Structure 1
Amino acid sequence: MSNTITLELKGPQFRLLGQAIRARLTPKQFDMMLKQRIDVDRADITLADDYTALVFDVIGAANRAGWVFKLVEAAREERPNEPVFVEYAQIVGVGPRGLPGKAELESIIRASNTLFDIAKFRSRIGEIEGQVCRVDLLGDGQGTGFLVDADKVLTNYHVIESVVRDGRAVTDYQCRFDFKVREDGTAVNQGTVIDVKELLHHSKYDPADLQDGGQQPNPDNLDYALLLLDGEPGNEPIRGITLDENTPARKWVTMSTTAHDFTPASPLFIVQHPSKRPMKLALDTESVIKVNGNQTRVRYKTNTEPGSSGSPCFNQNWELVALHHSGDPQWVPTWNEGIPFHLVTAHLAANGFTQQNPVEV
């Protein structure tokens, strides 16, 4: 651990973080978390008998020595849907980029007329963060994907097109979960890398997707690929570390089966791995522009960057509504585009894939 003094948390912030840790982890679980996730022996820091004092001592030591971000990230991995840990991940720079602070987030919640309050909103972000991955080709980021089953990831067809077009081995691809780098370049987690085992199903993009002349895409051309992984990250805790039965599994994103009403100027949120970088959120409360003539594409204003192909698009209540796949090719882009997700769900069902519900622990 570094000996650099980096006081990232102020005194008043200790109390809320300490309360959240004590409420979510027993003393034994706290000790195990420190050892297994960040290789810290709590006894080397404090021998306090009182749990409140013990946690306070550890937070203080981490804060003074410059590894409080590791402590916060470990707690968030243990309880990914705990809103306080999501909030503190933002404070210390290990949360998803693009997640605004409390005041702006409250404004977004009000503007989008969401069903969630700020705590539930953060909780959903914490869950989804562990279910979205970077899709790599021989270790180099190509796009974004997300779990739709314990061992299956969905992305765009054009992200892995070389498998079909050029005969490249699908095993050259990997899915990288939990990739974290701080804004200052400090490595937090190089990610949980899982090999792709098989391309189960795919649907190609349409020639109309390469133009902007108003042509209607073939309804069977949906630009998706369903990948089978060599492992079951959806059934395992984040980073595969299990302390006890209270450590939740990663799970997966629920696929929509009904058509979403893409009302113009309605919200659309995108979770993405832009330009090979760590996860980023794009939240736009007045996003939707229009749906095309045969209802196979939706355009929106929510910002994306290269590497975002295959990202899940959510409505204001964090329901999956579209698969992001392209953007305006103009020098000054004015729109992005996705596939309404119920079409993907129906196409997969016709090919024999039905999503399973996560087993609740």
Structure 2
Amino acid sequence: MTVQLSQPNFQRLTRIVQNLPDFANVRDRRRLVAGALQGAAQADVIMARLDLDGSPMGVSVEVVRFFCQFGRVAYDKEALAVFLNYIQPFTGDEDKDFIVELFQNYPLDVPASPSRGINNWRGMDSTADIKEKIIGENTLRDIYILNLALEASKAVVRIRTPEGLGTGFMIAPDLLMTNNHVIQSQEVGDKSNFSFNYQLDINGKECPTQIIGALPNGAFYTNKELDVTVVTLKDVPNFGKPLIFKSKLMRRDERVAIIQHPGGHLKKISIQNNFVAYADNQVLQYTTSTEPGSSGSPVFDDDFLVVGIHHSGGMLPEPSTQRRYLRNAGTSAVALLNDLKNNAPEIYARLAI
């Protein structure tokens, strides 16, 4: 999840970072950030995306904003919390106290580690306290959602086009939806292949995969602005049920999940610690993990109904503020359904809604 600091707290924290001894030049900044992220699974991703070149003032603003918006670098570690814990020893007493207050006032999850007297080494939790705890996000979920996810996954398809790889999903017995930038035209669709069941089985072995093509002169629709394409497939294998759309305006901090073929590889699901960061009638932004090749994947709500289609990721502008945040993004089901209803009614009539 993202951390929304108040403007005064954001400004003070950027001043603290700006004045750190190891923030004077690019080389020292890289060493500082790398040290903070040592051992984190996503350290290489962050170091690749974070631009540390520029004046200390400007870079400190970007660094704080980046860590606020990145989310978690591990199961219970907010990126901003990891960074604050690392820099705290290099700050003065007043700044140390301010960092401790940040942990008290924001959902950073990882406790700050201020200097303690030797008599405090035992810790403060009683035996009753440590038997059960919710650590960070409450990750306890009803088991039935695993069944919902498995059923939904049957309709998710790997796409190989002459230009690259992507993901799509079945919205009717023979209709597949993906991105416009994956399949731009019926000609590209006709030259593409679509792989069902490209995933591992319960024993960790590859399942038998069915590869088919598009139906020549079949129903086809595309919208570049919404980044969506619908194509008709030929000789579709039995995949279960088409996915169901939900015309729902999502809200900030609601959970989402994405079933996808990241990098064109075996089917995977991103289901944990995924939240909506921004939503309106067309744009959906979220913290869910994806990779190139995930384009065209369905975005699900908690009931595994389709609330959007994934299309991009990176430092994306938030429509309401035009500030850039590290997020993934898609087109909302609200916009998709309205567009199909108005411009492709023959396809809209076949959807499960």
* TM-score grouping bracket, smaller chain normalisation: 0.5 to 0.7
Does residue 246 of structure 2 align to residue 252 of structure 1? no
In structure 2, what is the equivalent of residue 338 of structure 1? Answer: 330
Contact 1:270/1:314 (<8 A) preserved? yes
Deviations 1:243-302 (A, max 9, x none): xxxxxxx1110122x332x2222211011100011111111445111125xx32111111
The aligned counterpart of 2:50 is: none
C-alpha spacing 1:327/1:145, structure 2 compared with 1 (3 Å) = same
Matches within 5 A, 1:126-205: 126-137=150-161, 142-161=165-184, 163=185, 168-181=187-200, 188-189=206-207, 191-197=209-215, 198=218, 200-204=220-224
* From 323, 335, 343, the counterpart of 2:309: 323
Residues in 1 aligned to 2:341 and 2:139: alpha-carbon distance in whole angstroms? 32
Matched, 1:270 2:258: yes
What is the CA–CA distance in structure 1 between the aligned matches of 2:148 and 2:201, rounded to whole Å? Answer: 22
Instruction: State the TM-score, normalized to the length of structure 1.
Output: 0.52
Give 2:300's aligned residue: 314
Which residue in the other structure is 2:268 paired with? 280
Partner of 2:149: 125
Aligned residue for 1:223?
227
Unaligned runs of 5+ in 1: 1-99, 101-106, 205-220, 239-249
Distance 1:357 1:154 in 2: 11
Q: Is the 8 A contact 2:270 2:288 kept in 1?
A: yes
Distance change (3 Å), C-alpha of 1:267 and 1:112: farther
How far the C-alpha of 1:310 sits from its partner, in A, is 0.5
Contact 2:257/2:274 (8 A) holds in 1: no
Equivalent residues of 1:271, 1:311 under 8 A apart: yes
Identify if the C-alpha distance between structure 1 residues 142 and 355 changes in structure 2 by more than 3 Å, giving closer, same or farther: farther
Q: Bigger shift: 319-328 or 193-202?
A: 193-202
Output the CA distance in 1 between the equivalents of 2:340 and 2:139.
31
Would you say the 8 A contact 1:149–1:355 is kept in 2? no
Residues 265 and 284 (structure 1 numbering): CA distance in 2 closer, same or farther, change over 3 Å? farther
1:111 is the counterpart of 2:138: yes
Q: Is 1:291 aligned with 2:279?
A: yes
* Paired AA for residue 305 in structure 1: E
Contact 1:265 1:288 in 2 (8 A): yes
Matched to 1:158, the amino acid is: H
CA distance in 1, matches of 2:330, 2:140: 22
- Give the match's secondary structure for 1:188: coil
Contact 1:141 1:275 in 2 (8 A): no
Q: What letter matches 2:182 in structure 1?
A: V
SS of residue matched to 2:168: strand
The 8 Å contact of residues 274 and 308 in structure 1, kept in 2 or not, is answered as: yes
Deviations 1:74-120 (A, max 9, x none): xxxxxxxxxxxxxxxxxxxxxxxxxx9xxxxxx89x93786xx30x2
2:348 aligns to what? 354
Once the two structures are TM-superposed, the CA of residue 160 in structure 1 deviates from its matched residue by 1.1
Pick closer, same or farther for the CA change 1:194–1:333 going to 2, 3 Å: farther
Q: Partners of 1:141 and 1:182 in 2: how far apart?
A: 26
Paired residue for 2:12? none
The CA RMSD over aligned residues, in Å, is: 3.2
Unaligned runs of 5+ in 2: 1-74, 76-133, 317-323
C-alpha separation in 2, matches of 1:265 and 1:224: 25
Structure 2: distance between partners of 1:169 and 1:157: 10
- Cα offset for 1:199? 5.8
Secondary structure of the 1:125 match is helix
Larger CA Rg, structure 1 vs 2: 2
Name whichever of 146-155 and 275-284 sits farther off.
275-284
What is the alpha-carbon distance in structure 2 between the residues aligned to residue 336 and residue 181 of structure 1? 26
Identity among equivalent positions (%) equals: 25
Secondary structure of the residue aligned to 2:271 is: strand
- The runs of 4+ residues in structure 1 deviating greater than 6 Å are none
Asked whether the 8 Å contact 1:199–1:225 carries over to 2, the reply is: no
Amino acid at match of 2:258: I
